[in-house]
Amino acid sequence: MAASVEQKDQQKGEGKKKEHEQEQEKEREPESPRLVLRTYRAGDYPYVDHMFISSYFALVPEGVRRKLWTPLTWVVWFAVYSYLLMIAPILLSGLDFPSWSCTVLKLFFTFAWAAVGFAALFVITDQFDTQHRVEYIRQNDLCDPEVSYLHWRKEERILVRQRLPESERTPSHFWVLVMDNEPCGMVGLACNAKDVSDQRPVPLAPWQKIGTRLLKRYHLSVPASFERPSTTTRPLFAKAHAPHTATLTRLTIKYEYQSCSLSTLLVNRAMVWASEHGIKRVYAETNEMMMAAEQILSKRHGFKQTSKHSTGWLGQYEAVWEVEVASWMKSYGDKTKDAFQKVPTQK
């Protein structure tokens, strides 16, 4: 009897020991990251803002590469280069230098102008094209995604936040992709019932800026007409959508998570949402810096380019893409159907 009791105690002890070892093994095993695609929340703004800025400025090399493809870039570069080679002998004429000095000077001009030309393209792309586009978006729909996409009305003076009436809402929405509670991607679906004006201050006309600088340079008084915009009409940021249409916007993946096919999850969610809310056609807009986005839209999701127009002399352009929601659902709708498990949303 005593022996059987001891055996039972021993078996219990061994069972507890095995359970303890299994628990330790589980603790040693790294947990797989939890990927959640949810609606944007107000607290996401710092992450969304930083993610958008860092991801957009990472496109600067692509913008420089596109400019290098433009014939005008090479025409200007060779014109200046030819001029430098032409004046090299003139600069050395009358000076007591060896005959090979002209060749050395021409080599110096070659490498120096190549470096200066490339640096100029980088500065134009980074400080002008990219900076303008980033601020254009940050001061408009990404200024507050809750207002732009989620139908909240906010009164700045008294900080009132309330949802728009159901009759005033559109199928617009905004999502954030979260990896282990850290936002790593985002996408929006814009469906504007009316035209949306640019929220940035109305800029001065070029002649006003030049005149103001010249007058200040020579310490002259600046007329009030030079400091006041010539028009108070704000330019359009986005046109009103036709019935049953929307635009895919702000498709962004954090730099370190790119090349992981996470963009497909974001596009799929937006397209399924569009299908559920009666949208028949979805558009997307790209520019010369977004070759990767164009490849994703066209090759992975069946978008077709419908228009493309130049916005600058150095290869800058804007393109519009579109896809029929019904045909997309038929071809791609089931791709990530089992990849997500719905969880209760926080109110």
- Which pLDDT tens digits describe the chain residue by residue (347 residues)? 444 545 555 555 565 556 656 655 555 545 556 888 999 998 999 999 999 999 999 999 999 999 999 999 999 999 999 999 999 888 888 787 888 888 998 999 999 999 999 999 999 999 989 999 999 999 999 999 999 999 888 876 556 778 888 888 999 999 999 988 889 999 999 999 999 988 888 777 777 778 888 888 888 888 877 777 777 777 888 999 999 999 999 999 998 888 888 999 999 999 999 999 999 999 999 999 999 999 999 999 999 999 999 998 888 999 999 999 999 999 887 766 655 556 555 54
Single-letter amino acid code for the residue at 38? R
Q: Can you give the length of the chain in residues?
A: 347
Q: Kindly provide the b/e burial profile for residues 180-203, where b requires at least 16 CB atoms within 10 angstroms of the residue's own CB.
A: eeebbbbbbbbbbeeebeeeeeee
**Closest alpha carbon to 35 in 255, 329, 267, 257:** 257
**The predicted structure's pLDDT at residue 163:** 83
The pLDDT value recorded for residue 226 is: 76
What is the model's pTM?
A: 0.76
According to the model, what pLDDT value does residue 145 have? 93
Distance CA 176, CA 252 (A): 10
The Cα–Cα gap between 257 and 268 comes to: 18
Element (H, E) at 319: strand 317-324
